[in-house]
Chain A
Amino acid sequence: MKNIIIIGATSAMAKEVAKLYAIDKANLYLIARDISKLDTIKQDLIVRGASTVYTAEFDANQFDSHETLIEQAFQTLEQVDVLLIAHGSLPNQERCQTDCSKAIEEINTNGISVISLLTHAATKMEQQQSGNITVITSVAGDRGRQSNYVYGAAKGMVSIFLQGLTQRLSKSGVHVLDIKPGFVDTPMTAEFDKGALWAKPEKVAEIIKKRISKKNSFSYTPAFWFAIMTIIKFVPKAIFNKISL
């Protein structure tokens, strides 16, 4: 029986990951902003087969609450096999360009809050000498683009942080996984028209679970995003600046 902590547990991808672990009768510790949504998810996971489901409320931008939050989750579960961080928001880029406080808030939600949580959790995992830390970042963090570089900057920051953390924690046998999904069909992207590049959250969840169990650290999800991002990263600046991505 595995013990799993999920932060941002009401997000579409996290929910699907939780369902997969529930079938395996896992103990789940779910953390999210909206406790009433968590209650609904908790009931669902219990019907699916989860052994126990704990829930806790949190606000990503209350950094000083993070230590206790992580402390409590680790204490409750005793041994943590997987910690998944999945919370985030999709900012309105145009607004961030004119409203600096909004830009900072988005960087805090998508970047700093994750780093804060990771800092507390990493120590715990290191003491355990085992387990997995998975964070959902984004392909948007690979190269800043005019349409969403505030979001991209926050996600990119987390990815770089994770690179270092991976190296550090490899010495204690802790597996770190940075998941960079491309387009995912979730309530957050309900307004977009969906084409062939869009993946369902169920699919992304399956990939995440498989990579965790195999200790694989490949980031792009689904894998074809590796090819797309390789091209995007290497488009020369002179051309890149002319296209409207």
Chain B
Amino acid sequence: MKKLTSWGKYPLINANIIIPTTRQHLAGLELTGIGRGLGRSYGDSALSEQVIVSENLNHFISFDEENGLLRCEAGVSLDNILTVFVPKGWFLSVTPGTKFVTIGGAIASDVHGKNHHLEGSFSDHVTSLTLVISDKEITCSRNNNPELFHATCGGMGLTGIITEATFKLKPIKSAYINQKIVKAKNLNTALELFEQYKDVTYSVAWIDCLSTGSNLGRSLLMLGEHADKGKLKTHKDGLLNMPCDMPSFLLNKYTIQAFNSAYYNKQLKEEVNSTIHYDPFFYPLDGINNWNRMYGGNGFTQYQFVIPKEAGKEGLTEILEAIAESKQGSFLAVLKVFGKGNQNLLSFPMEGYTLALDFKLNDKLFSLLDHLDIIVRKYDGRLYLSKDVRISEEMFKASYPQWEAFQTLRTEYGADELYHSLQSKRIGL
């Protein structure tokens, strides 16, 4: 038994940690519990009394240069892939905001990136994957065991342990990104800008979520395209390290307000264009190891929801007002427009707006988040399971209408008896 937690540092549990040495070994062990990659999910989706860690499943299997199809084991990280493939002129089709996630984690959470509106989520580029359920190895794809494929992509590890996958990389000419940052004085302008720049491959907005009134939703919109010129140079390791937990009083409404104002006002011009390496563009926080310690010993959580496009302006306004009123601001508030969702049963993205907010954990927080849940539900939205540590069974089942189909399939394969996380028990799976 060892102490185990995930990125939000809450909860901290005792768990039996199993690290199978090879894919073959894994199937032979007939393990139960939950699969785990690098523990970059914020909440309790990769926590259970027993976790099966993919650490040693870190090999590439093959690469088809003609089609950009990479086949590798599930414990390979995005970091590993970029290191090897950027110099060869290839990039991830979809990447989340940190490169320290595994392929297994990226598939199980069906992660999205800044290009969701044009290129979908990670699983949309997966052509095939192999899963171990008890001692059986099952390969699935859109044609072969399609139900299992669509349940596993976005299925939070609840259908079995993913051992390998094949997915498409995209060709690039340079490791650099042409970036444009545009200032938006409020939410309306931000949403208009998203519309105006909808053909740009990468887009995301950082929101100052403590500003109110006519400034509500003021933000910086960041846009990017792969550059044509520049070396195919991979990233370097992060140099900074957060050596210990920060005293938690350091993050309070005053410091957050100061930070947010400073960040927004850092850029004086309406629009700034530059060319930057992919590393700071996609992974601004990866440069500081253990930055989650900034939130102190009690940990933090991320509240990420999506609401349908029609509800957009009204819903976002209501939520931002509720947050501003609570004065429980967040350092990081990120707004993004999602394109159409996919067929995966529990995948998070749907066409609309998604906002991700980091909050330090404290006594008052959960009641604020419960209040936000009510608003999200009112607008037919839902929360991202990969960031969640607290939603109720009722909230989950109301907002993920395909949960029943998912559970039926799990029963069919016997996975419901074998795979559980703290989260799955809480939300009734």
Check if B21 sits within 8 Å of A40, measured CB to CB: no
Bound complex: CA of A7 vs CA of B23, how far in Å? 23
Of the listed stretches A43-51, A94-102, A140-148, A225-233, chain B binds A43-51
Check if A44 sits within 8 Å of B19, measured CB to CB: no
Check if A40 sits within 8 Å of B84, measured CB to CB: no
CB distance from B69 to the nearest CB of A (A): 11
CB closest chain-A residue, reference B59: A44
CB closest chain-B residue, reference A19: B84
Check if A47 sits within 8 Å of B19, measured CB to CB: no
Check if B22 sits within 8 Å of A47, measured CB to CB: no
Check if B84 sits within 8 Å of A48, measured CB to CB: yes
The answer to the question of B62 belonging to the interface, with a C-beta cut-off of 8 Å to chain A, is yes
Check if B19 sits within 8 Å of A37, measured CB to CB: no
The answer to the question of B411 belonging to the interface, with a C-beta cut-off of 8 Å to chain A, is no
Check if A43 sits within 8 Å of B21, measured CB to CB: no
Q: Give how many A-B residue pairs fall within 8 Å (CB-CB).
A: 32
Check if B60 sits within 8 Å of A43, measured CB to CB: yes
Residues 141-170 of A at the B interface (beta carbon under 8 Å):
none
The answer to the question of B282 belonging to the interface, with a C-beta cut-off of 8 Å to chain A, is no
The answer to the question of B61 belonging to the interface, with a C-beta cut-off of 8 Å to chain A, is yes
* Contact of A47 (CB < 8 Å), options: B21, B23, B56, B61: B61
Bound complex: CA of A164 vs CA of B422, how far in Å? 59
Check if A187 sits within 8 Å of B19, measured CB to CB: yes
CB distance from A185 to the nearest CB of B (A): 11
CB distance from B390 to the nearest CB of A (A): 31
* Contact of B61 (CB < 8 Å), options: A23, A43, A190: A43
Bound complex: CA of A190 vs CA of B70, how far in Å? 29
Bound complex: CA of A43 vs CA of B84, how far in Å? 14
Interface string of A121-147 (1 = CB under 8 A from B): 000000000000000000000000000
CB distance from A237 to the nearest CB of B (A): 38
* Contact of B60 (CB < 8 Å), options: A36, A44, A187, A190: A44
Bound complex: CA of A109 vs CA of B191, how far in Å? 67
CB closest chain-B residue, reference A48: B84
Check if A47 sits within 8 Å of B24, measured CB to CB: no
Which residues of A lie under 8 Å from residue B63 when comparing CB positions? 47
Bound complex: CA of A37 vs CA of B21, how far in Å? 9
Bound complex: CA of A190 vs CA of B20, how far in Å? 12
CB distance from B72 to the nearest CB of A (A): 8
CB distance from A35 to the nearest CB of B (A): 12
CB closest chain-A residue, reference B70: A47
Residues 216-265 of B at the A interface (beta carbon under 8 Å):
none
CB distance from B242 to the nearest CB of A (A): 15
Interface string of B57-82 (1 = CB under 8 A from A): 00111110000001010000000000
**Which B residues have a C-beta under 8 Å from some C-beta of A?**
19, 21-24, 56, 59-63, 70, 72, 84, 88
Q: List 14 A-B contacts (CB under 8 A).
A: A36-B22, A37-B22, A41-B59, A43-B59, A43-B62, A44-B61, A46-B62, A47-B60, A47-B62, A47-B63, A49-B84, A49-B88, A187-B21, A187-B56
For the A-B complex with A23-B84, A43-B61, A187-B21 known, give 15 more contacts whose Cβ atoms are closer than 8 Å: A36-B22, A37-B22, A40-B22, A40-B59, A41-B59, A43-B60, A44-B59, A44-B60, A46-B62, A47-B60, A47-B61, A47-B72, A48-B60, A48-B84, A187-B56
Sorted from nearest, which 10 A-B pairs have the closest CB atoms? Answer: A47-B60, A44-B59, A44-B60, A47-B63, A40-B59, A43-B61, A48-B84, A37-B22, A47-B62, A43-B62
